[in-house]
C-alpha cells in the first residue's frame, strides 16, 4: 500500500483564504427542547411511521421503518414524547416528520448483537446492525445490506470509496478533526471491506493533510486492497461523481450516481458511524456538523442530536449584530431553510453555513481594490495578497445578459458548456440542451458563483432537467 496523488479533474475552483473556516475543536450541544425527525433521512424513501402523537419514545428507538421502495429505519434521537406528526420541508422536498418534545436525559437504547471485536460478527449480523442502526442510509447512495437499503445490491458492489476531504468554501480541516478517531475509522473501513467480499477501497485525502494520510496508512497497514490517494482540494472534489472518477478512473454515466458503476461512496464520518454501530450497537442519532461562515460567532465543529431544529443552532451560535442567512449545507449547494423551526439537521447533513446578509450599497463598488473579495478572475487585489476573503449574500453586481466570457466553461468540473445550457434551458429548449449533455451536470453551483453577469446558471439547468422529467 502506498499513498499516491490521484489524477485531477478539469475545471474546479480552489477556495483560498476564506474567512469563517471552522476550527478543529468539537463542542457538544445540549439536547434541544424539541427535535424534528423526518421519516426519510439520507438515501431512501419515506418510511412508515410507527408512533403516533402522545407516544413516549426513547433515544435510539426506531420510530419509522419500512416502505415499498428503498428505505432505512429512522430513530428517535431523544427521550421524550411525540408532539405531532406533520409534513415539513426538508432539503427541498415535503415529507412527513415527527416532532418530539425532548427531556434532558442522555440515555440511548443500544442495539443488541454488537461485538467489540468486529471480526467476530457474521455477515447477517453486520447487515442487521447496519440496517437497524440507520447507517445504511448514509453515503451518496446508501450502504447496500441484505435489506433493501440501497439502489445497489450487495453482490454488485465493486469498490468502496471513502471521502476524507472537504473542498467547499467553509471546509473543515478534516485531518485535524478526525485525527483522534483514526482507529475507529480504520476498523470501520476494514469491517465494511470484509462485509463486501474484500472489494478494493479507495480513500481520498486532501493533499494538505499529509500527516493524517500517514497515520491512516499506518492504521490500515495490515489490510490489503486499500489505496489512500491524495486529491487536490479543488471544489467540487468531494461530490460523489467527481470523487469516484478521480479515485477509480471510471466515469460515472451522465445523470447517474456512482452506484451505476458499483461504487459505494462514504464520507469519513460515516465510517465512524459504521464502527460505532457494529462495535456498540449505537444508532445514528448524533452527528458532527461544521459551522462555517462569518455569520457565526465562532466557527467550530458541533456535536448535535439528529433532528435538532436549525433555529436552535442559529439562536445559540449565530451573530446577533448583523443580519445573517442560514444555509443547510455548504454555501454552494446548501438550501436555505424556509421555516427554521421545522428544519432539522438530518443524518446526511455534514455542514451548515451562516453568511452575512449584506444589503449595503458600496460606493463605486466596481472600482474598489477589493481586499476581501473572492473571484475567479484576477481583477481584485485579493488575488495577489494573503488577506482573508469574505463571502456574503450580496450579488456584487447587476443582472446582465450573458457575454460569453466562458468563466463557467473554465470552471465546470464536467465537460459542459454551462452558458449554452443556460441559453437553451432559459428559453425552454431543454430538448436541445439534452444534446449537449444536460444530464452530465452535477449541480455543484460553481457556474452561478463565478458568473460576472450574475446569471443563475445552475438554477436554469435544474429547471431544464425538471422540464425534461415532466415530458417523460
Partner 1 sequence: MFRKIFDLQYKMLEKYPFLRPLKPLVDAGDNFFYGTPHTTKEKPYIREGIDIKRFMIMVLFAVLPAAIASVYFYGQRAILVILTSYIVGGLTEVVFCIVRKEEITEGFLITGILYPLILPPTIPLWMISVGIFFGVIFGKEVFGGTGKNPFNAALVARCFLYIAFPLYMTGGAFVEPYPNSISVENYKPVFQGLGGFTSHRGLLSHEKKNGKYEAVSEATPLAKAKELRLKLAEEGSTQEDYKKYMEYVKKTIPNLLWGYRSGSMGETCSVLLILGGIALMVMKVANWRTILSTIAGGAICAFFFYDAHCLADRLYLVAFSLLSGGFLFGAIFMTTDPVTGPVTQAGRYFYGFAIGCIALVIRRFSGYAEGIMFAILLMNIFAALIDEIVIMVRYRGVKK
Identify the residue among 22, 42, 80, 445 touching partner 1 (CB under 8 A). 445
Full strand arrangement of the beta sheet holding 201-206: 3-5, 226-231, 201-206, 159-164, 263-267
Contact present, 237 and 246 (Cβ < 8 Å): yes
Q: How many residues contact partner 1, by CB under 8 A? A: 68
Identify the residue among 16, 123, 403, 427 touching partner 1 (CB under 8 A). 403
Identify the residue among 179, 380, 387, 467 touching partner 1 (CB under 8 A). 380
Full strand arrangement of the beta sheet holding 74-75: 48-49, 62-65, 74-75
Phi, psi of 54 (to 5 degrees): 100, -20
- Count how many Cα atoms sit within 13 Å of the Cα of residue 44 in the half-sphere of its side chain: 35
The residues near 142 (Cβ < 8 Å, ≥ 6 apart) are 42, 43, 44, 70, 72, 136, 149, 150, 151, 152
Stretch 165-184 residues interacting with partner 1 (CB under 8 A): 169
Interface with partner 1, residue 435, by CB under 8 A = yes
Stretch 321-360 residues interacting with partner 1 (CB under 8 A): 325, 327, 331-336, 355, 357-360
Interface with partner 1, residue 366, by CB under 8 A = yes
Interface with partner 1, residue 387, by CB under 8 A = no
Q: Specify the DSSP element, H or E, that contains 27.
A: strand 26-28
Binding segment (CB under 8 A) for partner 1, from list 218-226, 276-284, 307-315, 411-419? 411-419
Nearer to partner 1 among residue 134 and residue 445 (C-beta): 445
Separation between Cα atoms, residue 147 and residue 136, nearest integer Å: 9
Phi, psi of 418 (to 5 degrees): -55, -35
Interface with partner 1, residue 256, by CB under 8 A = no
Nearer to partner 1 among residue 4 and residue 472 (C-beta): 472
Identify the residue among 244, 453, 464, 465 touching partner 1 (CB under 8 A). 453
Separation between Cα atoms, residue 25 and residue 411, nearest integer Å: 33
Rg (CA), the chain: 22
Separation between Cα atoms, residue 127 and residue 136, nearest integer Å: 9
CB of 365 to partner 1, least distance (A): 3
Contact present, 354 and 300 (Cβ < 8 Å): no
Cis peptide before 316 (omega within 30 of 0): no
Interface with partner 1, residue 119, by CB under 8 A = no
Binding segment (CB under 8 A) for partner 1, from list 77-85, 134-142, 282-290, 371-379? 371-379
Binding segment (CB under 8 A) for partner 1, from list 24-32, 74-82, 115-123, 406-414? 406-414
Nearer to partner 1 among residue 364 and residue 472 (C-beta): 364
Q: What length does the chain have? A: 472
Identify the residue among 214, 316, 339, 377 touching partner 1 (CB under 8 A). 377
Contact present, 142 and 72 (Cβ < 8 Å): yes
Identify the residue among 24, 182, 420, 468 touching partner 1 (CB under 8 A). 420
CB of 378 to partner 1, least distance (A): 5
Interface with partner 1, residue 121, by CB under 8 A = no
Query: Using CB under 8 A as the criterion, which residues of the chain lie in contact with partner 1 when the complex forms?
Result: 169, 325, 327, 331-336, 355, 357-367, 370, 373-380, 391-398, 400-407, 409-410, 415, 417, 419-420, 431, 434-437, 445, 448-454, 456, 458-459
Amino acid at each position: 500500500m502506498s499513498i499516491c496523488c490521484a489524477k485531477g479533474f478539469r475545471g474546479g475552483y480552489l477556495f483560498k483564504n476564506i474567512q469563517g473556516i471552522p476550527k478543529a475543536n468539537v463542542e457538544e450541544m445540549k439536547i434541544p427542547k424539541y427535535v424534528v425527525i423526518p421519516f426519510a433521512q439520507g438515501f431512501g424513501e419515506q418510511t412508515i411511521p410507527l408512533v403516533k402523537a402522545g407516544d413516549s419514545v426513547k433515544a435510539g428507538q426506531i420510530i419509522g421503518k419500512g416502505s415499498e421502495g428503498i428505505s432505512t429505519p429512522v430513530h428517535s434521537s431523544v427521550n421524550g414524547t411525540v408532539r405531532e406528526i406533520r409534513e415539513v420541508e426538508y432539503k427541498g422536498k415535503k415529507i412527513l416528520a415527527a416532532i418530539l418534545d425532548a427531556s434532558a436525559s442522555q440515555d440511548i437504547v443500544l442495539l443488541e448483537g454488537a461485538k467489540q471485536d468486529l471480526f467476530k460478527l457474521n455477515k447477517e449480523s453486520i447487515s442487521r446492525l447496519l440496517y437497524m442502526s440507520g447507517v445504511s442510509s448514509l453515503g451518496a447512495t446508501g450502504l447496500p445490506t441484505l435489506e433493501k437499503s440501497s439502489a445497489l445490491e450487495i453482490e454488485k458492489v465493486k469498490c468502496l470509496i471513502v471521502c476524507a476531504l472537504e473542498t467547499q468554501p467553509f471546509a473543515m480541516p478534516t485531518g485535524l478533526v478526525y485525527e483522534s478517531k483514526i482507529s475507529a475509522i480504520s476498523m470501520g473501513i476494514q469491517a465494511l471491506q470484509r462485509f463486501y467480499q474484500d472489494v478494493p477501497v479507495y480513500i481520498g485525502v486532501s493533499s494538505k493533510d499529509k500527516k493524517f494520510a500517514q497515520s491512516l496508512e499506518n492504521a490500515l497497514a495490515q489490510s490489503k486492497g486499500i489505496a489512500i490517494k491524495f486529491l487536490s482540494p479543488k471544489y467540487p472534489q468531494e461530490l460523489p461523481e467527481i470523487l469516484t472518477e478521480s479515485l477509480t478512473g471510471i466515469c460515472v454515466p451522465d445523470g447517474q450516481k456512482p452506484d451505476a458503476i458499483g461504487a459505494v461512496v462514504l464520507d469519513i464520518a460515516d465510517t465512524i458511524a459504521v464502527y460505532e454501530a457494529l462495535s456498540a450497537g449505537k444508532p445514528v442519532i448524533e452527528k458532527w456538523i461544521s459551522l462555517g461562515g462569518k455569520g457565526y460567532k465562532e466557527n467550530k465543529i458541533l456535536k448535535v442530536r439528529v433532528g435538532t431544529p436549525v433555529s436552535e443552532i442559529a439562536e445559540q451560535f449565530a451573530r446577533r449584530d448583523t443580519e445573517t442567512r442560514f444555509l443547510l449545507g455548504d454555501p454552494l449547494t446548501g438550501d436555505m431553510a424556509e421555516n427554521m423551526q421545522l428544519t432539522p439537521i438530518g443524518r446526511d447533513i455534514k455542514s451548515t453555513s451562516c453568511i452575512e446578509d449584506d444589503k449595503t450599497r458600496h460606493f463605486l463598488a466596481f472600482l474598489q481594490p477589493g481586499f476581501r473579495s473572492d473571484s475567479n478572475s484576477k481583477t481584485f487585489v485579493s488575488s495577489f495578497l494573503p488577506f482573508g476573503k469574505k463571502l456574503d449574500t450580496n450579488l456584487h453586481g447587476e443582472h446582465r445578459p450573458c457575454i460569453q466570457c466562458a468563466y463557467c466553461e473554465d470552471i465546470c468540473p464536467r465537460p459542459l458548456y454551462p452558458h449554452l445550457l443556460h441559453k437553451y434551458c432559459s428559453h425552454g429548449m431543454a430538448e436541445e440542451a439534452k444534446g449537449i449533455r444536460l444530464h452530465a451536470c452535477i449541480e455543484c453551483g460553481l457556474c452561478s458563483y463565478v458568473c460576472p453577469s450574475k446569471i443563475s446558471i445552475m438554477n436554469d439547468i435544474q429547471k431544464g432537467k425538471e422540464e425534461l422529467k415532466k415530458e417523460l
